[in-house]
Structure 1
Amino acid sequence: MPGRIPKEFIDELLLRVDIVEVIDARVPLKKAGKDYKACCPFHDEKTPSFTVSPAKQFYHCFGCGAHGTAIGFLMEYEHQSFPEAVEELAGRVGLQLPRESLVSSEKTEASANLFRVLEDAARYYRSQLRAHAPAIEYLKRRGISGEIAAAFGLGYAPDGWDHLVRVLGKEAPQRELLIQAGLAVRKEGGGCYDRFRDRVMFPIHDYRGRIIGFGGRVIGKGEPKYLNSPETPLFHKGKELYGLYRARDAIRSAGRVIVVEGYMDVVGLAQFGIDNAVATLGTATTREHLERLFRFAQEVVFCFDGDRAGREAAWRALEAALPILHEGRQISFAFLPEGEDPDSLVRVEGAQALQDRLGSGLSLPEYFFQTLGAKVDLGRLDGRARLVELATPLLSKMPAGAFQQMMLDRLADISRIPSTAAAERKTAAGPSSRDFRRNYAGPKPPPSVVRVAAALLVQNPALIAEIDDPELLGEADLPGMEVFQKIVQLLREQPRLNTAALIEHFRESEHEPVLARLATWSHSSLAQDVRAEFQGALSQLRLKAIETVTDRLVQKGKVFGLSEAEKTELNRLLTAKQEIRQTAPTH
């Protein structure tokens, strides 16, 4: 199928890649016995529960349950697509991607051309900035140094209708490419003209540092003040954040990210050494924005104007955040004096004063109840009831847990209707009687022999050499045998697979979660002599399979009789059954 990456390539890739090196480059690991550990990058914790196994080439967090291969880690941590993760790992180990796979969007000819024309446009805008004194003077008036302008790749789109088109769109296919990249606008009567004119240009990068679009700030009079690239195959405003690629390391180091409203705010803060700021691209903060930011830091601070528009933007951000506020994630809102923005205020007060403002902003709970409380009269009974009506639907969107319960408790305190919090807690967060029985019903039964055999095989794929009778084992009528048989079949066909490659074969299938659990399952039987344990489990499976087949033959013999071949087979199986019982230990 065109566009698919061959499974054989994935297998070879995961045999060559070292997941420890991949993760350690992003999350420093420490040796812990045969494995490596770190605090999980996917949730907030103080005691390391994130484990990376070089033997399995697999990671697992015992705190939040995150797990996967090197491919899965890049997809989760770097927000890469599957093809993009494969491409990065292949480059790391020197593997050439199959030409026929068309690995990722940038590998398609159209997308590669879009990236190229955007880079060409960025170079053109930078050259124009150097040649236009008014644009340079504008940046100087805004306090932007040449070093910062260069660091952010700032440029200038000259005034006029077709400067860029005449340089990069001399032929019809080139002009079409400019339109697709959002750099030019199609005319009704044919042809096109520059989208950006007389504007300081801010290139927008994706997570890999590739230019995917632009923002333009008008220098003189004109509307709109800020103009962004339109939606294109590469650029999606609801997913991207200006400055994130450059700010990633600073965000991780600071432990928090500052979200501001404009490009100039990000650049201006960087001028004063505040490098952990990003901006949304002319759109409201989305859940995707926040999920991306929480990958880099557990604290997000929104720094908005204190006017009506700023507070409306803050409330929309709060609503987007509620469904993803797991424990450990924090959001604050710092509202600036009217008429000020981060860029202007940092120049008046200095970096430390602005940092102090950010640190003393309203926490999400404070802002939540302050905003809703201002809409009702808390001195009246019906006003407090109205507060409950306004708050409850919003709080129900939060993940069940301690934070949601504390918000409900706070609502109960303010409204003086404690039964509300109790009822909400019961429905939203309280354990059911079934949960109680599951957790406290006494010691757990021993694991099934199929689970033990499957886990041993997933964690030690070389054990496939111990299986010489897969057809017989398939006769065992036991829960889980379907998955076990699929693992056996795959490893018999490709015995070189390691744990990571084995699991990747089942990506996006119904069996993927099962294999992931088997790969991370810890049990005493898995820590012993794995070969002996596996042989013991196989003996039990063979016994079950033999019993199933012999019962079937005996029943057939009673009704229809057996052929000579069937009689011979029945005797052989009965003898094998007796030998297994005499030599194999029972589990």
Structure 2
Amino acid sequence: MLSPQWLDELRARVTLSSVIMRTTKLQRAGREWKACCPFHNEKSPSFTVSDEKGFYHCFGCGAHGDVIRWMTDQRGLQFMDAVKELAQEAGMEVPAADPRAAKQAEKRASLIDVTEAAQDWFVRELRSDGGAKARDYLASRGFSDAIVREFGFGFAPDNKQAIKNALAFDEQMLVESGMRIETDDGNHYDRFRDRLMLPIQDARGRVIAFGGRILDKRDGVAKYLNSPDTPLFDKGRTLYNLHRAGPASRQTGRMVVVEGYMDVIALANAGIEDAVAPLGTALTERQIEMLWRMVERPILCFDGDAAGQKAAMRAIQRALPLLRPAHSLAIVRLPSGLDPDDLIKQRGAKAMEEILSEPAGLLDTLWEFERDAQPLDSPEAKAGLKARLLVHVDAIADPDIKALYRRELLDRFSAFAFPQRERQPWKPEGFRGQQRPVAKVDPAALKRLQQLVSGQGRDRLTAAVVAGLMRHPSQLERHEEALAEAAERDANIAAAINPLLDMAEMLEDGGELPISGSSGQLAPPDLSHFSFLREGTETEDAREDLAEAVSLLVERPALEAALAAATARFETDPEGAFAEQQRLLKRKLDFEARLGQMTSLKAARANAGSPQDLGPSRKPETAGEQETD
């Protein structure tokens, strides 16, 4: 018996289009292929092949399948013959038959006989006199007869032995299929009683489990009850309605994920057929991968209340480690207090379609949730926001996506925490018409700044930030709070930042600088490898890169102080100190990598004109090197 994992590996190793094009002429159509369908006669192509998703589909006749299905349906091979031919092509060895796997497959097949028979019985019970209450409930929800039939609604009577008496299967099979419960003392009773029943089907449309909803509210009784995990059913690997939504999504190009199966049915009742739902749990990693096989950016639709927001964040946290190029999640939050059914009843299906047409991105949702999670009325609270954002960033495995998320979230944090205030033009007159005195700066401080930005110190990060703020003094107010924080932590930074803040009123973007040379321009060649100081850098790009440099300048002394504190704890708490030190060292490596992104020796030499401009053995210092006299 071939395992599902082995078959998935076989499909992954064989390129579907290369197999199909041996007998069918394919034409490239974007990221997919198209052709006239080989399964029916047509003049215009409606047959598509997607290597990324691993299936072919004809929009004319509905032919659909993977590479194995192609070999059996188009080539006419038996299943095992098709597998053996593909395995030889992929360089895989077909595993020997496993008697235990064969026995398990036989058991699953027999249990499906149980669940299919139970489904037929539940449907008959809904139509009986005892199902009148369930039929009234369905009518109150506005579900059409076609939807009731399509989704297979049924009814379980309020009798502990009803299904045992109705189905001709032994007790053990009824228990293993989840239809009956066995107590510790050996007694048995029906799991579903006095409930509206819904079949849960696998990707092939076979009934593998059930969900039941109570019709009358009762204390201590769960509103919804699902089958337990069985040899047939794993709720973390199953998406409700996938077998219907999959073909629909190929028409719409989207997949909608809602919170429960009644939401799926409400959408289908309104004509929105490309919706699925998890089954009583948060969206799992396996379910996210299943969705990505259908579409690259499934839309997660959550209720607008606090519980819906938390559910969205749980899904985001599961998805972050899995993100890969072009694959993400889109998020829709409904108006507060409304679920999909309520929204459709109050505003119509068009309103639901409009909301689904404008989903938020994963990054936008992540930022808004953390920004609004708690009041940001103190520096400590703002630092907490930044820390939470970076925790999410650290969860991303793909290095390119991780770097892009870090940049975008830190940019948003800087713009939010240090908003740029409108600069008022400096006027020589005071409030009462008296001439305002020109700001005075200590000549010694001016000299120190001149030395710092001209490359006569070793703390090049501080020097670069100072030079950048002199070049773009309009950014001083935006970063004033962060710079003051860094100055409090590090005396070397304070020596450079304090006089700069004092002379802020004397500086103008593009104006002559009070410590510049005769040309009136500040062009420290030793710092030109910083991206925001390079000639030709766009102003907006330079300001954003400068904001990242300020962020690094603030983070550095805090990181070094934390490392020193962790080292000092070794005598009293060696295990805790070691763990903390390792975490901080990882942060320091990340810090240096971020600094390296904006400082390139190659770029510095190119801008300087020749390698000698940097000195014969000059190397960019790390962020941890401090200035010495």
TM-score range, shorter chain: 0.5 to 0.7
Where 2:225 maps in the other structure, the secondary structure is strand
Match of 2:122 in 1: 125
The number of residue pairs the alignment matches comes to 384
Query: Structure 2 counterpart of 1:129, which letter?
Result: L
CA deviation after TM superposition for structure 1 residue 165, in Å: 1.2
CA deviation after TM superposition for structure 1 residue 331, in Å: 2.0
Query: Structure 2 counterpart of 1:289, which letter?
Result: Q
Match of 1:368 in 2: 366
Match of 1:144 in 2: 143
1:179 aligns with 2:175: yes
Q: Deviations over 1:140-189 (max 9, x none)?
A: 111111111111112111111111111115x6xx1110100111101333
Q: Deviations over 1:270-308 (max 9, x none)?
A: 011100111110001111111100111122222111222
* Alignment map for 1:424-439 (pairs within 5 Å): 427=593
CA deviation after TM superposition for structure 1 residue 260, in Å: 0.9
What stretches of structure 2 of length at least 5 have no aligned partner? Answer: 36-49, 57-63, 82-95, 415-546, 554-588, 603-629
Aligned partners of 1:353 and 1:126: how far apart in 2? 33
Aligned-residue sequence identity (percent) comes to 34
Aligned partners of 1:254 and 1:430: how far apart in 2? 44
CA deviation after TM superposition for structure 1 residue 408, in Å: 1.5
Q: Is the 8 A contact 1:241 1:280 kept in 2?
A: yes
Aligned partners of 1:278 and 1:166: how far apart in 2? 34
1:116 aligns with 2:113: yes
Q: Is the 8 A contact 1:183 1:195 kept in 2?
A: yes
Q: Is the 8 A contact 2:157 2:193 kept in 1?
A: yes
What stretches of structure 1 of length at least 5 have no aligned partner? Answer: 40-45, 52-63, 71-77, 437-587
Match of 2:355 in 1: 357
Q: 1:199 aligns with which of 181, 195, 199?
A: 195
Q: 2:249 aligns with which of 230, 248, 251?
A: 251
Aligned partners of 2:16 and 2:406: how far apart in 1? 42
CA deviation after TM superposition for structure 1 residue 86, in Å: 6.2
1:217 aligns with 2:213: yes
Match of 1:189 in 2: 185
Where 2:237 maps in the other structure, the secondary structure is coil
Q: Is the 8 A contact 1:179 1:186 kept in 2?
A: yes
CA deviation after TM superposition for structure 1 residue 109, in Å: 2.4
Match of 1:288 in 2: 286
Match of 1:418 in 2: 548
CA deviation after TM superposition for structure 1 residue 214, in Å: 0.8
Aligned partners of 1:227 and 1:18: how far apart in 2? 42
Query: Structure 1 counterpart of 2:203, which letter?
Result: Y
Over the residues paired in the alignment, what is the CA RMSD in angstroms? 4.1
Query: Structure 2 counterpart of 1:145, which letter?
Result: S
Q: Is the 8 A contact 1:412 1:421 kept in 2?
A: no
1 or 2 for the larger relative contact order (CA 8 Å, sep ≥6)? 1
CA deviation after TM superposition for structure 1 residue 23, in Å: 6.0
Where 2:289 maps in the other structure, the secondary structure is helix
Q: 1:337 aligns with which of 335, 338, 342?
A: 335
Aligned partners of 1:356 and 1:316: how far apart in 2? 25
Aligned partners of 1:152 and 1:279: how far apart in 2? 14
Query: Structure 2 counterpart of 1:183, which letter?
Result: M
Match of 2:160 in 1: 161
Match of 1:389 in 2: 387
Query: Structure 2 counterpart of 1:208, which letter?
Result: R
Match of 1:95 in 2: 78
Where 1:108 maps in the other structure, the secondary structure is helix
Q: Is the 8 A contact 2:240 2:261 kept in 1?
A: yes
Aligned partners of 2:301 and 2:112: how far apart in 1? 32
Q: Is the 8 A contact 1:260 1:279 kept in 2?
A: yes
If the length of structure 2 is used for normalisation, what is the TM-score? Answer: 0.54
Q: Is the 8 A contact 2:371 2:385 kept in 1?
A: yes
Aligned partners of 2:28 and 2:157: how far apart in 1? 51
Work out which of the two has the higher radius of gyration on C-alpha atoms and give 1 or 2: 2
If the length of structure 1 is used for normalisation, what is the TM-score? Answer: 0.57
When residues 414 and 347 of structure 1 are mapped into structure 2, their CA distance, relative to the original with a 3 A threshold, is same
Where 2:236 maps in the other structure, the secondary structure is coil
* Alignment map for 1:317-332 (pairs within 5 Å): 317-332=315-330
